[in-house]
Amino acid sequence: MILFKLFISIFLITNLVAQDQVALEEYKIELIIFKNVDINTTETFDNLLILPKENVLSFYEPELLINTTDLFPKNNDSFFTKMFKNLRPSFTKNNTDEDIKKIIPNPGYWFRKNTNLEKLKKLNSKLSSNTNYKVLNSYSWIQNIENKEISKYLFEKNSENKYGYYLKFYKSRFLHIDLKAYLGIAKPVDNKIITDSHIKSYENEILSRKTEQKTDEKPILDLNLKNEFTQVMTLPIEESYENQLYNDINIFIDEQKRVFDGEIHFFDHPYFGIVISIEKI
């Protein structure tokens, strides 16, 4: 009985470690959302989309900083005085070939929109040049994917083009997509955006792992002067369509499906469509 309990404990600990490692794996997501210009359907849409009322993620916009050390240089010291002013020994790890091969996740770059498309580039060009469709938006980003119990929706709304979506990737036995997308301007629901804390928690996780690793330390001289940064305050972009009446969201896609790494998936509606590519980095 004691051996059985010990086995279960080891299994649970191993499973938790494996889940943590999986949650740090990075994926590149590419997305195109487009609207059908010529709608040829007699179908009526009476059902309304129920929006999730829970904590969500959003696209991340980091603080903009200016290096005031370079912007306002002081010439009181000579070149050599500056060079040796902050001279101090430090220790760095002697990287092996195996270390170089490893790709260290960088949560600070997660959920940042990028106009660069690779897998969907040709499709985006074809849709943009086809008069039957209007591309509302297309972009890519990098993110991690958690297990089903703790994964969160990525929430995006665009009042100018009048669309929005909740997009969740999660892992159970297989990889899944959960998409709730709509046309119109939805009445806001109780969504708390937790992107900052999500990214910070994984940055701390990576930092703690680095601290625990043994290093083959070699002293080097650090000649870099300490930089000073000032945050640039930016005004939030006001959405010009927010004063319009909210729509009852009856033009929507609400679909879940199992997916595999490297696949492209199409979510279809008579009025609009979404194409999503997912690829592990």
Q: pLDDT by residue (tens digit) across 92-149?
A: 556 555 554 567 899 999 999 999 999 999 999 999 999 999 999 999 999 999 999 9
What is the 8-class DSSP label of residue 37? S
Question: What number of residues does the chain have?
Answer: 281
What is the 8-class DSSP label of residue 109? G
| Residue 116 to residue 210: CA distance in whole angstroms | 31
Q: What kind and span of H or E run contains 206? A: helix 195-212
| Cβ atoms 84, 222 nearer than 8 A | no
Q: What kind and span of H or E run contains 181? A: strand 175-183
The stretches in the chain having pLDDT less than 70 are: 1-22, 63-65, 67-102, 212-244
| Residue 114 to residue 280: CA distance in whole angstroms | 17
| Residue 89 to residue 220: CA distance in whole angstroms | 6
Q: Which of 30, 34, 28, 52 is nearest to 268 (CA)?
A: 34
Give the count of alpha carbons within 13 A of 260, CB side only. Answer: 0
| pLDDT at 43 (0 to 100) | 87
Query: End-to-end distance of the chain based on CA atoms, in angstroms?
Result: 43
- Classified as helix, coil or strand, 133 is strand
Single pTM value for the model: 0.74
| Residue 154 to residue 29: CA distance in whole angstroms | 12
| pLDDT at 4 (0 to 100) | 46
| pLDDT at 10 (0 to 100) | 43
Q: Which of 231, 221, 198 is nearest to 59 (CA)?
A: 198
| Residue 34 to residue 129: CA distance in whole angstroms | 12
Q: Tokens standing for 137?
A: 């938006």
| Cβ atoms 217, 12 nearer than 8 A | no
| Cβ atoms 232, 162 nearer than 8 A | no
- Classified as helix, coil or strand, 211 is helix
Contacts of 56 (CB under 8 A, 6+ apart): 152, 153, 154, 155, 166, 191, 192, 193, 194
Q: Which of 148, 146, 147, 120 is nearest to 135 (CA)?
A: 120
Q: Tokens standing for 170?
A: 């999660």
| Residue 83 to residue 93: CA distance in whole angstroms | 24
| pLDDT at 209 (0 to 100) | 81
| Cβ atoms 163, 182 nearer than 8 A | yes
